[in-house]
């Protein structure tokens, strides 16, 4: 015996966005985190990242 399918529609509601103060604090925390990463990662790591990106672009160009 088969069961009938349910015809319910479920609506997802997301919580309301925070206050303006919470958004400003969030943006400041993100900026502080990015600044700490930029200042604390040594130069050789940035150069290795750039070199890896250049190698990747070169490989993509040679594949055509």
CB within 8 Å of 23: residues ≥ 6 apart: 17
Q: Chain-centre distance of CA 13, in angstroms?
A: 23
User: How confident is the model at residue 33, as a pLDDT?
Assistant: 93
> What percent of the chain has pLDDT above 90?
52
Greatest Cα pair distance in the chain? 70
| Per-residue pLDDT tens digits for 6-24 | 777 777 666 666 788 888 8
Q: Which of 30, 26, 9 is nearest to 17 (CA)?
A: 26
State the pLDDT at residue 55: 95
Q: Where are the domains of the chain?
A: 20-62
CA distance 57 to 49: 12
Global pTM reads: 0.52
> For all residues of the chain together, what is the average pLDDT?
85
pLDDT of residue 13: 66
């Amino acid at each position: 015996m088969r069961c009938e399918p349910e015809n319910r529609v479920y609506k997802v509601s997301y919580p309301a966005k925070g206050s303006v103060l919470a958004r400003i604090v969030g943006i400041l925390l993100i900026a502080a985190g990015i600044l700490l990463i930029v200042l604390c990662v040594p130069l050789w790591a940035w150069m290795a990242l750039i070199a890896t990106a250049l190698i990747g672009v070169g490989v993509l160009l040679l594949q055509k």
